[in-house]
Structures are given as C-alpha cells and as structure tokens.
Structure 1
Amino acid sequence: MKKKLNGKTATALICAFALSVTSAAMALDLGDILKKGAIGIAGGWLVTAISPQMNDFINTITFNKGVAYDGYTKVVPIVSIGDGTRIGAAQVGATTQSAIDRTKAVAQLEGEFSSLRATALIPIDSTNPIQRFRRVKGVGVTAIINVKL
C-alpha cells in the first residue's frame, strides 16, 4: 500500500534534500560546476520520486476549484537551459497516455528582448537537455511547482 505525502511533507522533503546535497557538495569542495550538477541530478531524482503524490495533489486542488484537466497528467522535473541552477517541477497534460509516457522533463528556456523577458516551458523526451532532447508533441504544461529554498 502506497503512503501519500501531503503538500507540506513533500515540500519539506525537497528542501531537506536540496540543503543536504548543497552542504555535501560544499564540504567536499567539488567546485561550482560539480555542485550545480549534483543539485540538478538530486533535485530531478527527488521530483521523480514524489511526482505521483504531487500530481495527485495538483489534480485534487484543480478539481476542487472546478478546473480539473480532462486527460492524462504527471509531474516531471524542470531542467533549465542557460544560467543558474534551479530545482523545479511541472505538471504536464496530454490527451493520450503515450504522449505522457514519452515526456521525461520540461525544458526551461529564458531570453530577453529589449525590456521584455520570456520563459518558454517545453515538454521534452529527456532529462538531460545538454545531451539531446526533442519536444513531445501534444503535451502542455498545466501547473508549475515551486519550492522556496
């Protein structure tokens, strides 16, 4: 029998894990790049580990507000392409289970034009956008999960 996590427990787990990874990386003095890589990998692993509970939580709150998604959903890590290391998660939605199954993460691309700043969130088929990735067609982002660190 699976035990469900409430929102506060999930947030506490993400924060505790992020802090422990950051502390371990600093204690070992692995350097900035390795520390950021470790945080990204650990954050992605943690998001994946508790994604069913986060997905249920989002589906419950949207259902309660009368705006539930009519299709298939799951929670995946957000992987940033560009400056900075972030730990994040997004709920994605699609009308087919196969499209949801192909989605492994959401790529976050940021750019600036004049005084405008844009963030693009793209459902992708890989958790490593540096290696390679493809957009998963027919999938959209339905919710963003932020954790205050």
Structure 2
Amino acid sequence: MRKFIFQRVTIAALICSLFLLSPAKLYAFNLGSILEGGGIAIAVKIFGRQINDFINTVLMNRNISTQEMTKVVPIISIGNGTYVGAAQVSGPAERVQTVQAVMQLEFNFSNDKFRIKALIPSDSLNPLQFHRVLGVGVSAMIDVKL
C-alpha cells in the first residue's frame, strides 16, 4: 500500500514539475520554445501510461470513471498563444489507439467577452495538418502555458 501511494505521489510530482517549470507565453515562433514544447510532448508520450493510470485512479476514487479505453496524449493549443500539456481521451479501443494528440483551438469574439475552446482528438502531432478522430472524447486535461 505504501509503495502504491509513493508511486502515485512521485508521478504527481513529476507531472507538476514538468508543467510548472515551463517558460512564459510564446508570442512568436522561437526555436528554443518550440524545442521545449516538443520536449514536454515527448515526456507526455513517455509517461503517458503512468499519467493515464493516475487520472483513472483519481476519477475512480470519485466514482466518475469511464468504462471505455483511455489514453493520455499531448495537448496542443492554438489560438491566443501556444500551450502544451496532456489530455486523456476515451472511447472505443480501435479509435483511441489512433489518437496522437488533442488540438485545442481557441476563439474570442465580441471584444473578448466570449471565448470558445474546441478540443479535437487528432491523428497527428502537427497542428497545421491533422484530422479529427471521430467517436473519441476528451475526459481530462492538464494544460500549461508556454
């Protein structure tokens, strides 16, 4: 039991440090920031299973778990700045397996009184060229501003 708790605390600490140590807002394409964002995406890909297990445990402990397959993938936000984080997607296994990232598109209108965020399960890590994976939804996300 102590080992299980230690593992969960360690994973949570890794996730928090991964996102808390990220740099400020990305206003222009900057190679250093792009590489750091790519590094976070790679870390999410490497630790995705542990992050997924952590999210599933938290949701299960609150009696709001899903019965479908889940997977954690990088989240890439496009709109008012670029963000990179992690998103958990859920749905039928054959479709969830094709998801490579979640694209978050942000739109502001009416003098910024309204904001829309579209979360799109994607078959690609490329924010300029991707297709929506139908039948898959976003069940959780961790987001950090670069």
TM-score between both structures, scaled by the size of structure 1: 0.79
Q: 2:94 corresponds to which letter in structure 1? A: S
Structure-to-structure mapping, 1:135-146, within 5 angstroms: 135-146=132-143
Structure 1 equivalent of residue 100 of structure 2: 104
Q: Specify which of 41, 44, 53 is matched with residue 44 of structure 1.
A: 41
Structure 1 equivalent of residue 121 of structure 2: 123
For structure 1, the residue ranges without an aligned partner over 5 or more in a row are 23-30
Q: 1:64 to 1:120 in 2, by over 3 A?
A: same
Q: Specify which of 53, 72, 82 is matched with residue 56 of structure 1.
A: 53
What is the CA distance between 1:97 and its match in structure 2?
1.2
SS at match of 2:126: coil
Q: Specify which of 13, 17, 28 is matched with residue 12 of structure 1.
A: 17
For structure 2, the residue ranges without an aligned partner over 5 or more in a row are 1-6
CA contact (8 A) 1:111 1:118 kept: yes
SS at match of 1:127: coil
CA contact (8 A) 1:99 1:139 kept: yes
CA contact (8 A) 2:104 2:119 kept: yes
Kindly indicate whether residue 62 of structure 2 is the aligned counterpart of residue 70 of structure 1: no
* 1:31-71 per-position Cα deviation (integer Å, ceiling 9, x unaligned): 95212311221111111111111100010011111111110
What is the CA distance between 1:103 and its match in structure 2?
0.3
CA contact (8 A) 1:14 1:46 kept: no
Aligned length: 134
TM-score between both structures, scaled by the size of structure 2: 0.80
SS at match of 1:78: strand
